[in-house]
Amino acid sequence: MALPFPNDPYLTGYYRPFGAEMDAADLVVEGAIPEELNGTFYRNGPDPAHPPHPDNKYHVFDGDGMIYAIRLADGRAAMRNRYVKTRKYELEKAAGRRLFGVFGNPRFNDPSVNMMDYNTANTHIWPHAGRLYALMEGCPPVALDPATLDTLGSEHFDGTVTGPFTAHPKTDPATGAMHAFGYSAKGPGSTAIRYNIVDAQGRGTHTAFLDQPYASMMHDFALTDRHVVFPCLPVVIDLMRAMQGKPLAAWESDRASHFGIMAKGGDGTGVRWVESDPLFAFHIANSFDDGEDLVIDVAGSRRAPLMPAADGTPADPAASRFTLKRWRIRGNAVHEEQIDGMDLQFPRIDDRWQGRRYRKAFVNGTPRPSPGRVDGFDTIATIDTESGHRDAFNAGDGAYTGEPVFVPRPGSSAEGDGWLLALRWDSLKNESALLILDAQHVSDGPVATIHMPARIPGGFHCSWMPA
C-alpha cells in the first residue's frame, strides 16, 4: 500500500508527483513541427515515488529521477517517460515505501540501506558518444538506452570516474570530448575535486585531483578554449553540522567566493584561486577567454535560494533572485556586470559556442516575479549578451515554463539559427505541452505546440539528441 504525500509546496501543484510511466504515439500538434527537426528532446526532474519519513522534510532536489523523451520525426511527435531505475528506486519499490532519508540523511535511513550509495539520478540528462546519461551530482552517471529509456547501470568511463560526477558536464566543440568534475570526491564533505575528460568515443582519458578552499556544493563549472574554472561558492557541506541535526548544506554568508582557474586538461597543479565577495550561481550560461580576462556568464545572485543558513533559517526568496550576470575575472579581482535584469534561471546556449565568445543566451524566467513563488517562470527568451536585447515570449497567465534547449537548424552555422524547445504547464487548464519556438523570432510565439497526454511536473534540465 503506497502512502500519501505530505502537504509541501514541492509536492503539490506544479510539482505534484506523477508516479506513472507512459507511452503515447502521434501526439496532437498545433502549428507545424519543422520538417528538419528529427531527434529527441529529453527532460529529467524529480518525481518522488514515496513520501519521506514524517519527521524528514522533503526537498525538491531529492525526488526520484523521471525522464521524459519526446521524439520528433517527419513532423510527428511521440512521448515516453520512465523512472531512472537506480538501486535506491528498486529497493524502495520492492519495500513499497521510502527507505532512505532525504539526501540520504543517515538519521532517517532504514538500517537495511545504511552505507549504500544514495542516487536519485534526477538532475540532468546528457548525451555523449551515442549514449544517454542521467546525472545527479552526488554519484556517477547512470547510463540509459536512448530509445527505450531502459536503465543500463552506473557508468565509470574505464575506471576514471570513481565517485560523484557533476550534473553539468561540458562538451568541447573543438574535440567532442566531455569535460566533467565531481566534488566531495574523497568522501562527503571532503574538499577534493576530481576532474575528468571522456573523449568523443566515450573513453575515459584523463583524471586529475585538486582541492577547493572549503567543501562547497559545486553545481556547475566553466570550460573555455584554454581553461577550466571551478567556482567555490558559499553553499558549504558540513557533516559535523548535519550530525547535530542542522543542515548538511547551508549558505554561509561570511565566506568569500573563490574561483579556481586551471589549464584545460590540467593535472590538478598550478591552480590559480581568485577571491571575491560571496557571489552565487547554480548555473553558468557560457564562459570564454577574453585576452587575459576570463568571462563567466551566469544566472547569478547574492544568496543561494532553497538553501538554509547554517542555523537552519530558510532562504528569503526576495534575496535570492537570479538575473543574467557577467563575472569578469581580471587579475586577482572579479567584476560583476548585469546583462539582463529579468528574474531567470536555466540559461542555455548554442552548444557549438561552448567556451567561445558568444552572443546568445536562452533562458526561462519571468518579468513579473512574486515573492515566495514556487518557480513561477512563464517566459522563454533569447538574450543578446552584448547589446542586452531581449527577445521574449510570455506563455500567459498561469503558465509555467521549463528550461529551453537550443537545436541548430541543419546546415546552418550561424549562432542561434535554430529552435528553442521548452515544456510549458498551463496551470489553469492543467495541461502540458512542448513548445517549439524559432530562436531568432521568439516573441512571435511557438511555431508548434505539442500537447502531452498528461501533466508533466516541474523539473530540471533538458537535452536534444539528433536522430
Are the CB atoms for 193 and 181 separated by under 8 Å? yes
Round to the nearest angstrom and report the end-to-end CA distance of the chain: 41
Would you state the cell numbers that stand for residue 10, as one nine-digit string?
Answer: 514541492
Q: For residue 179, what are the β-bridge partners?
A: 170, 197
What totals of helices (H) and strands (E) does the chain contain, helices first? 2, 33
Q: DSSP for 98-145, please give it.
A: --SPGGG-GGG--GGGTTS------SEEEEETTEEEEE-TTS--EEE-
CA distances from 232 to 166, 211, 214, 247, 279 (A): 14, 10, 7, 18, 10
Q: Are strands 235-237 and 249-251 parallel, antiparallel or unpaired?
A: antiparallel
Please indicate if the annotation marks 128 as binding a ligand: no
Instruction: Determine contact, residues 102/159, Cβ cutoff 8 Å.
Output: no
Q: Rounded distance, CA 41 to CA 81, Å?
A: 12
461 assigned ligand-binding residue: yes
What cell does 269 get?
597543479
Full DSSP string of 157-183: TTTT--S---S--EE-TTT--EEEEES
Partners of 296 in the β-ladder: 287, 327
170-171, strands of its sheet edge to edge: 170-171, 178-182, 192-198, 204-211
Give the Å distances, CA to CA, from 311 to 70, 102, 314. 43, 18, 9
d(CA 328, CA 336): 6
Give exposure, 146-167, as e/b (b: 16+ Cβ within 10 Å).
beebebeebbebeebbbbbbbb
Beta strands at 343-348 and 142-144: parallel, antiparallel or unpaired: unpaired
219 carries a ligand binding annotation: yes
124 in a known ligand binding site:
no
Taking alpha carbons only, the member of 113, 249, 278, 98 closest to residue 188 is 249
Binding residues for Fe cation: 168, 219, 283, 461
Binding residues: 168, 219, 283, 461
